[in-house]
Amino acid sequence: MVNFAIARAAILGYKLRHLKMYSDGSSESSFHGLRNIVMEHKDLIKYVEEANESLKWYFLGEFIVKSYHISVSISNVMHSNKNILYFLVFILHLLIQVGLVYTRANELSLKSTNLSVEIFKSNWYEQSSKVKRSLLIVMARAQRPLVFTIGNFRVIDIEMFVNMTKAAYTFVLYQKM
């Protein structure tokens, strides 16, 4: 789901940057081409919002369970001499699994806000005033990043991944005392 949204955002960025390719040069065809791109952007926003609405509680449960598993596994490595390799591999597996999801969600946020940059890199200055106004609206809409959340609490991003690993390590340190 996240990869699909990232791909759609990248395609939109390409279309916005190469706006001239989607018209025959007249101002009316440029406006119609841009209107189709705007509709795609609205569809992408709706898709991400609906996907987030259906997955946010799943992400919360996954966050809690994986944080707990990482903490317990680190604790087991520190307190046990047996199966250290097993727990280290398990910790690595969990970190990779969580890291992949969080980096992809972070990439979606970056790609969606990068649409404004793609518009700026296009030939917007050669367009009619009608098209320029529409591009401004798209740029304003692209300022709000497309994100996935953990419940209603926090946006999924790289910083959240780092905070989760710090919290797991802190849990182990306090447990050791």
3-state secondary structure 130-160: HHHHHHHHHHHHHCCCCCCEECCCEECCHHH
Q: Which of 145, 124, 147, 126 is nearest to 136 (CA)?
A: 124
Instruction: Specify the range with the lowest mean pLDDT, choosing from 4-13, 43-52, 79-88, 98-107.
Output: 79-88
Q: What average pLDDT score do residues 24-32 get? A: 72
> Looking at per-residue confidence, does 172 or 162 come out higher?
162
Q: What average pLDDT score do residues 55-65 get? A: 90
Q: What average pLDDT score do residues 162-175 get? A: 81
- What pLDDT, on the 0 to 100 scale, is given for residue 22? 65
Contact assessment for residue 157 and residue 106, using Cβ atoms and an 8 Å cutoff: yes
Helices (H) and strands (E) in the chain, counts: 6, 2
**Band of pLDDT at residue 47, cut at 50, 70 and 90:** very high
SS3 154: strand
CB within 8 Å of 167: residues ≥ 6 apart? 67, 71
- What pLDDT, on the 0 to 100 scale, is given for residue 11? 92
The token duo for 32 is: 């119609």
Q: What is the rounded CA–CA span in Å between residue 96 and residue 139?
A: 34
pTM reported for the whole predicted model: 0.81
Q: What is the rounded CA–CA span in Å between residue 121 and residue 117?
A: 6
Percent of the chain at pLDDT above 70?
Answer: 95
Domain boundaries, the chain: 2-176
Q: What is the rounded CA–CA span in Å between residue 102 and residue 109?
A: 11
Contact assessment for residue 58 and residue 158, using Cβ atoms and an 8 Å cutoff: no
For the chain, the 3-state helix, strand and coil shares in percent, each to the nearest 5, are 80, 0, 15
Q: What is the rounded CA–CA span in Å between residue 140 and residue 122?
A: 16
- What pLDDT, on the 0 to 100 scale, is given for residue 7? 94
- What pLDDT, on the 0 to 100 scale, is given for residue 26? 67
pLDDT tens, residue by residue, 75-133: 777 777 777 788 888 888 989 999 999 999 999 999 999 998 888 888 878 888 888 88
What H or E segment, with its residue span, contains residue 150?
A: strand 149-150
SS3 26: coil
